[in-house]
Amino acid sequence: MENNDLLLQVTSKAETWLSDKYDEETRREVQALLDNEDKAGLIEAFYKDLEFGTGGLRGIMGVGSNRVNIYTIGAATQGLANYLLKEFSTKDLIKVVIGHDCRNNSRKFAQISADILSANGIKAYLFEDLRPTPEVSYAIRKLGCQSGIMITASHNPKAYNGYKAYWEDGAQVIPPHDKNIIGEVNRVNVGDIKFKGNKDLIEVLGKNIDEEYINDLKSILLSTDSIKRHANIGIVYTPLHGTGFTIIPKALKACGFTNIINVPEQDILSGDFPTVVSPNPEDPAAMALAVKKAVETNADLVFATDPDADRFGAGIRNDKGEFILLNGNQTMLILIYYIITRKKELGQLTGKEYTVRTIVTSALTQVVSEKNGVEMFECYTGFKWIAAIMRELEGKRQYIGGGEESYGFLAEDFVRDKDSVSAAMLFGEIAAWAKDNGKTLYEMLQDIYIEYGYSKEKGISVTKEGRSGAEEIEAMMKNFRENPLTQIAGSKVTLIKDFVTLKAQDLNINEEFTLEMPTTSNVLQYFTEDGTKVSIRPSGTEPKIKFYIEVKDKLKSRADYEAVDAATESKIEQVRADLGI
């Protein structure tokens, strides 16, 4: 579309927001965009409608159809309400849980969502204050609700907010409900949104749910005697200004840990995230203050969670006593190894247990699972797909753990989204159990690599903002498909999987086969002769294209660890060069 045509289109669209259907403040801000000689802001705010995607909404806050505001949140909630009223028409009372994180406007958007649901005759359970995403999932199941809403933009920068939609099993919506809800949302006009709430249908949730949640989480612990023996393990915890502050210290204390050390600067609940650029435990800079505190206090562990406390990051001491930050694959590897090993020791493996990983997560967790007689399933990126497998196998098999490389893990089956609270509890327990076995966590990780094979992973995100960025990302994906790599880091590409077409090419035998997946997804994977794996996908929640690199090696002894680690790091740099990133 030519720039003049685009400007005419967005101007016309923006002018509709000047009608009295919109509040005065919104009209004033839209008029300011129209009056500004620089039309970039106007175009970004109105060039498209913010999409209610398969996980809900996420975007920059502000006025406009491509921004998160009371009208885009309102349309999402009205559309969800319309769908719930159709889907559960035989129920006397439909119930929905609503939670929110620390972000600017999160409480406002949560209250508006509760008002809209109640105005549509739906009972809304609204948390009294900010709470973690996994607790919302827990409450949906505990209270027998049909849906849930979490107002959050997860780990995105402070300009963002978002809206996650959940179904009655406590998981984020998947087909067919996601597409059906999207259809309802797209049919909503601003005049259809019922903003005037019914207070009689809004119930506030408080500390009682917190206590039930923590008590149920304690049931997954496997080595409580180890915790008693090592209760004083020093754990530095930072919520990165977010919701984890409300519950994770309490949960760790409920397990028996007595030496929980705060990072005061990051205990400040703030949607401006004043001490970090990105409130994401994947970002080492976000962990810097916690590591500094751990060094000062001679602590053993560093824990961090993102603003809605579903992601969990950990730091441990190496053999020199220095803190190293684990990546998401390593954290998941330790958790899966521990759960399986401990359950085996306790005689709790019956042959019906299973684990789950996403297609971009290290296959080493699969090796650990299957070598111990536990089947591991593979699914798309996003915890809703892990939850879909849990739903399918409910009552038939026993879920004991699953996760993804992006710092998400779930150990329990009574929550259906990634849970940093249970991950923190278990990780503390693992440190105590390792001490009982005469090891540090660092030595335990090395021993896992020695027994099951060495794997090094790196995730690289390339950010491309705005309309032009989206076009660049689309062009990059097209290029990788139309001009496939034949070699990566000197090793021949032997297999290509394309989840858009659900086709795979085995280049060794020159044959094509079908990928068995529930739906398509914009993911491309390359596999090489020497075991290197590269996955490429646009983010579904951020203006980024993501590259996931995994290279393999063998580790014969702890003494060889640093040399093997350096060799695989060098190889990852070769892979990056071949990818042009």
For the segment 39-49, the average pLDDT, to the nearest whole number, is: 94
Relative orientation angle of helices 248-255 and 420-436, to the nearest 10 degrees: 30
What SS3 class is residue 455?
strand
Looking at residue 172, the DSSP 8-state letter turns out to be B
Query: What is the secondary structure of 11-78 as a DSSP string?
Result: HHHHHHTTSTTS-HHHHHHHHHHHH-S--HHHHHHHSSPPP-BTTEEEEEBSSSTTSBSHHHHHHHHH
242: which 2 tokens?
A: 């977010």
Could you give the CA distance from residue 168 to residue 190 in angstroms, rounded to a whole number?
A: 27
Could you give the CA distance from residue 427 to residue 281 in angstroms, rounded to a whole number?
A: 15
Among residues 65, 147, 154, 422, the one annotated as catalytic is 154
Relative orientation angle of helices 133-142 and 207-218, to the nearest 10 degrees: 90
List of residues 6+ apart from 526 with CB closer than 8 A: 484, 485, 488, 493, 495, 496, 532, 533, 534
Yes or no: domain 48-205 corresponds to CATH 3.40.50.150: no
Could you give the CA distance from residue 564 to residue 573 in angstroms, rounded to a whole number?
A: 14
Given a cut of 90, whether residue 68 has pLDDT beyond it is yes
Q: Say if residues 314 and 301 touch (Cβ distance below 8 Å).
A: yes
- Identity of the amino acid at 417: D
Predicted confidence band of residue 465 (pLDDT cuts 50, 70, 90): confident
Q: Given this model, what pLDDT does residue 539 score?
A: 85
What SS3 class is residue 313?
strand
Could you give the CA distance from residue 119 to residue 452 in angstroms, rounded to a whole number?
A: 56
Q: Say if residues 481 and 473 touch (Cβ distance below 8 Å).
A: no
Residue with tokens 């401990």: 342
In this structure, the strands spanning 491-498 and 503-506 are antiparallel
Residue closest to 552 by CA, chosen among 531, 578, 576: 531
List of residues 6+ apart from 538 with CB closer than 8 A: 473, 474, 477, 522, 544, 545, 546
What residue ranges of the chain are covered by domains with CATH 3.40.120.10? 48-205, 220-452
Helices (H), 70-128: 70-87, 106-119
Q: Given this model, what pLDDT does residue 205 score?
A: 98
pLDDT in tens, 235-276: 999 999 999 999 999 999 999 999 999 999 999 999 999 999
Query: What CATH number was assigned to the domain covering residues 456-579?
Result: 3.30.310
Given a cut of 90, whether residue 134 has pLDDT beyond it is yes
Looking at residue 327, the DSSP 8-state letter turns out to be P
228: which 2 tokens?
A: 């008693």
Q: Given this model, what pLDDT does residue 362 score?
A: 95
Residue closest to 145 by CA, chosen among 94, 191, 217: 94
What average pLDDT does the structure give for the chain? Answer: 96
Q: Given this model, what pLDDT does residue 54 score?
A: 60
Burial (CB count within 10 angstroms: exposed 0-12, middle 13-18, buried 19+), residue 514: exposed
What residue ranges of the chain are covered by domains with CATH 3.30.310? 456-579
Among positive and negative, which fits the CA dihedral 314, 316, 318, 324? positive
182: which 2 tokens?
A: 């999207």
Burial (CB count within 10 angstroms: exposed 0-12, middle 13-18, buried 19+), residue 447: middle
Given a cut of 80, whether residue 287 has pLDDT beyond it is yes
For the segment 500-515, the average pLDDT, to the nearest whole number, is: 95
12: which 2 tokens?
A: 């016309």
368: which 2 tokens?
A: 């650990």
Q: Given this model, what pLDDT does residue 2 score?
A: 59
Across the strands, what pairs with 52? none
Q: Given this model, what pLDDT does residue 55 score?
A: 67
Given a cut of 50, whether residue 66 has pLDDT beyond it is yes
501: which 2 tokens?
A: 């077409």
What SS3 class is residue 381?
coil
Selected from 3.50.50.60, 3.40.50.2300, 3.30.300.30, 3.40.120.10, the CATH number assigned to the domain covering 220-452 reads: 3.40.120.10
- Identity of the amino acid at 236: V
Q: Given this model, what pLDDT does residue 4 score?
A: 83
pLDDT in tens, 224-233: 999 999 999 9
Could you give the CA distance from residue 572 to residue 549 in angstroms, rounded to a whole number?
A: 7
Question: What number of residues does the chain have?
Answer: 581
Could you give the CA distance from residue 291 to residue 227 in angstroms, rounded to a whole number?
A: 23
Q: Say if residues 276 and 285 touch (Cβ distance below 8 Å).
A: yes
The kind and range of the H/E element at 403 are strand 398-404
Helices (H), 360-513: 364-371, 383-393, 420-436, 441-452, 466-482
Q: What percent of the chain has pLDDT over 90?
A: 93
Q: Given this model, what pLDDT does residue 1 score?
A: 44
Could you give the CA distance from residue 344 to residue 374 in angstroms, rounded to a whole number?
A: 10
Could you give the CA distance from residue 191 to residue 188 in angstroms, rounded to a whole number?
A: 8
Q: Say if residues 548 and 534 touch (Cβ distance below 8 Å).
A: yes
Given a cut of 90, whether residue 466 has pLDDT beyond it is no
Q: Given this model, what pLDDT does residue 468 score?
A: 87
pTM: 0.94
Could you give the CA distance from residue 279 to residue 108 in angstroms, rounded to a whole number?
A: 21
For the segment 178-199, the average pLDDT, to the nearest whole number, is: 95
Residue with tokens 């077409």: 501
Given a cut of 70, whether residue 65 has pLDDT beyond it is yes
**Is position 219 annotated as part of the catalytic site?**
no
Residue closest to 226 by CA, chosen among 410, 374, 439: 439
For the segment 17-28, the average pLDDT, to the nearest whole number, is: 96
pLDDT in tens, 207-224: 999 999 999 999 999 999
